[in-house]
Amino acid sequence: MTERRDSIGRVDLRALDAAPDMERDEAVMRAVMKRIVATAQRDLELARLLRLRRAMLAMAAVLAALAVGIAREIPRGVGETAVSAVAGWIAAGHVPSNGELLAALQETDR
């Protein structure tokens, strides 16, 4: 034998113990139950979203129809001066001042 006896250290054999450990069993059961409850809650939330899917799609369709209706009511030419001003600033590489921005936006209200 070339090993020294004290270099091995102690070997923990408690995992092989056949005696019941109530605390360990309770901890395992709590962890399992916590995972089951979390999975059940996630499944309930998914089921609720699936039930509401038709209502959400109907609301989205109504909002889209309203947006199209509002867009058709805006008269042509409104805001074109502001758009052309911004396009000119971009082409020239100009950073507008607050006054220039305010003047361009006020023209869109007319």
Residue 50: which domain range? 20-73
Task: Kindly state whether residues 91 and 50 are assigned to the same domain.
Answer: no
Q: Is residue 6 part of a domain?
A: no
The pTM score is: 0.34
Q: Are residues 80 and 69 in the same domain?
A: no
Shared domain for 24 and 69, answered yes or no, is yes
- Structural domain count, the chain: 2
Residue 7 forms part of a structural domain: no
Residue 85 and residue 97 in one domain? yes
pLDDT tens for 9-63 read: 778 777 777 777 788 889 999 999 999 998 888 888 888 888 899 899 999 999 9
Neighbours of 22 (CB within 10 A): 7
Q: Among residues of the chain, what percentage have pLDDT more than 90?
A: 17
Look at residue 30 and tell me if it is in a domain.
Answer: yes
DSSP string, 19-45: S--HHHHHHHHHHHHHHHHHHHHHHHH
Do 24 and 57 fall within a single domain?
yes
41 and 85 together in one domain: no
Indicate whether 13 belongs to any domain: no
Tokens of 66: 């309203």
